[in-house]
Amino acid sequence: MIQRASYILALSRLEGMGCITMRRLLEAIPFIEEIFHKPEILRNQFPQLYNRFAKQLVQFSIIERAEKELEDTRAKGIEVITIGDEKYPSLLSECVDAPALLFYKGEQKALQAEYKLSIVGTRRATTYGRKVVTELIGQLASLLPNLTIVSGLAYGIDITAHRAALENKLPTIAVLAHGLDRIYPYQHRKEAIEILQQGGLLTEYPLGTPIERYQFVGRNRIVAGISSATLVVESALRGGALLTASMATDYNREVLAIPGRLDDQYSKGCNQIIAHQQAQAISSAEDILNSLGWSTTKKMSGEEQISLFPDIDLPDNPILQLLQKEETLHFNDLIVRLNLSPSELANKLFELEMDGYITTLPGGKYSLT
């Protein structure tokens, strides 16, 4: 007997079939197989859709291919979850454009967790951003050990969130923009394997789906829709993190953000959505729990609270000590203060920039990363 998931996958392969159209069909025609075996039902209820898909629906081979594809998927230990299934994440099912099919590999407990927090941000995370994510998740693990952290396995803030969750024994879900037969970026394969033991990998894309740019936008809507809230840690004025935050707002989810210095490029996005009252400013794990109404039996001391501008452990280096005091200094100022030749200073600055401690600013100025 052909399973419901096979019919849904076959429908998703029809040219012009989108998530919202699929959702309308599934709600109007609960026995989805009737679209293929009794196409007059589709013609009577959705004549325009019938005219669009009629020629494709008579090709029964698309169902056979879908059935074989799902058999291969399950053989690899991947769960196929249809919308309406009890295993389908409840919050995600509320979204109008929720995927009709999900592919999941990992611990079911993480997917069904009551408390989920999505954490997003720039791929070019600063030392400050990575430190904030790491300390914040450490606090959350202490206060709410049954919390699941959701992110997208990308460079920067995403992978930092996954690593911090793994280190603190929190479940974590990585939402991918491709099939589960690959990991992108490949450099995060090690973390992906660890996530399988402590959480899971989730996607709407079948095995063999190539990586396309537009699919990352689709991935972001799952990140936004599956959780009670989305936390933006660092973002420029434009970027995928702010798009995810906007989607979360559209889904009536809470949006939280970590503020930063006004002149930091990757804090400008967070500062903007806070200023426009599109996100709530967060300075500690307790802020997150309070804003979401999540209860905890433990209170953190003042020393445990995260600082918005934490002190970063720096090597004993006179250049770094100066920049820590002055925030920004011109190349010529550094020459005078350090009594170095231009070539000596240039070499030292290059080494510090390669190590990720400093960044070059317009006009020949330097600052800590």
CATH assignment at residue 361: 1.10.10.10
Q: Is residue 307 part of a domain?
A: no
d(CA 284, CA 307): 8
Task: Report yes or no on 231 lying in a domain.
Answer: yes
- CATH number assigned to the domain comprising residue 172: 3.40.50.450
- Let me know whether 116 and 174 are in one domain: yes
Q: pLDDT grade, residue 178 (50/70/90)?
A: very high
- Return the pLDDT at 300: 56
The verdict on 360 and 211 lying in the same domain is no
Q: Is 55 contained in some domain?
A: yes
Following DSSP, what letter does each residue of 131-191 receive, concatenated? HHHHHHHHHHHHH-TT-EEEE---TTHHHHHHHHHHHTT--EEEE-SS-TTS-SSGGGHHH
pLDDT confidence of residue 130: 93
Same domain, 45 and 113: no
Q: Are residues 109 and 218 in the same domain?
A: yes
Q: Identify the burial level of 276 via C-beta atoms within 10 angstroms of its C-beta, where 0-12 means exposed, 13-18 middle and 19 or more buried.
A: exposed
Q: Which of 54, 74, 94 is the last residue of a domain?
A: 74
Residue 317: the pLDDT is 86
334 within a domain of the structure (yes/no): yes
The answer to whether residues 61 and 170 belong to one domain is: no
pLDDT at 309 over 50: no
For residue 367, give the amino acid letter: S
- Same domain, residue pair 216 and 127: yes
Residue 6 lies in a domain: yes
pLDDT confidence of 194, banded at 50, 70, 90? very high
Confidence of residue 45 (pLDDT cuts 50, 70, 90): confident
From the number of C-beta atoms within 10 Å of its C-beta (0-12, 13-18, 19+), residue 69 rates as middle
3-12, 128-137, 327-336, range with greatest mean pLDDT: 128-137
Indicate whether 57 and 173 sit together in one domain: no
pLDDT of 29 reads: 86
Evaluate whether 245 touches 276 at the Cβ level (below 8 Å): no
Mean pLDDT, all residues of the chain: 88
Contacts of 280 (CB under 8 A, 6+ apart): 254, 255, 256, 257, 274, 287, 291
The domain boundary residue, chosen from 292, 308, 341: 292
pLDDT of residue 60: 64
Lowest mean pLDDT among 43-57, 59-73, 75-89, 326-340: 43-57
Burial of 334 (0-12, 13-18, 19+ CB in 10 A): buried
Q: Which two tokens stand for residue 198?
A: 């402590």
Q: Of all residues in the chain, what percent carry a pLDDT higher than 90?
A: 57
The CB-side HSE value for 189 (13 A sphere, CA atoms) comes to 5
Specify the higher pLDDT residue, 315 or 180: 180
Q: Judging by DSSP bridges, how do beta strands 200-203 and 101-106 pair with one another?
A: antiparallel
Model pLDDT for residues 280-305, shown as the tens digit of each residue: 999 899 999 999 999 775 665 554 55
Q: Which two tokens stand for residue 42?
A: 């589709």
Looking at the fold, whether 188 and 274 belong to one and the same domain comes out as yes
Cβ contacts of 363 within 8 Å, gap of 6 or more: 330
- Is 35 part of a structural domain of the chain? yes
In a domain, 355, yes or no: yes
Q: Please tell me whether residues 177 and 119 are part of one structural domain.
A: yes
- Residue 279 covered by a domain: yes
- Number of structural domains (the chain) is 3
Q: Identify whether residues 138 and 282 lie together within a single domain.
A: yes
CA neighbours closer than 13 Å in the CB half-sphere of residue 126? 22
**Top-ranked range on mean pLDDT: pick from 14-28, 52-66, 86-100:** 86-100
Per the structure, the complete domain to which residue 160 belongs is given by 104-292
159 and 283 both lie in a single domain? yes
Taking a C-beta distance cutoff of 8 angstroms, is the pair 178, 204 a contact?
A: no
Note whether 188 and 48 are same-domain residues: no
Q: What is the mean pLDDT of residues 26-49?
A: 83
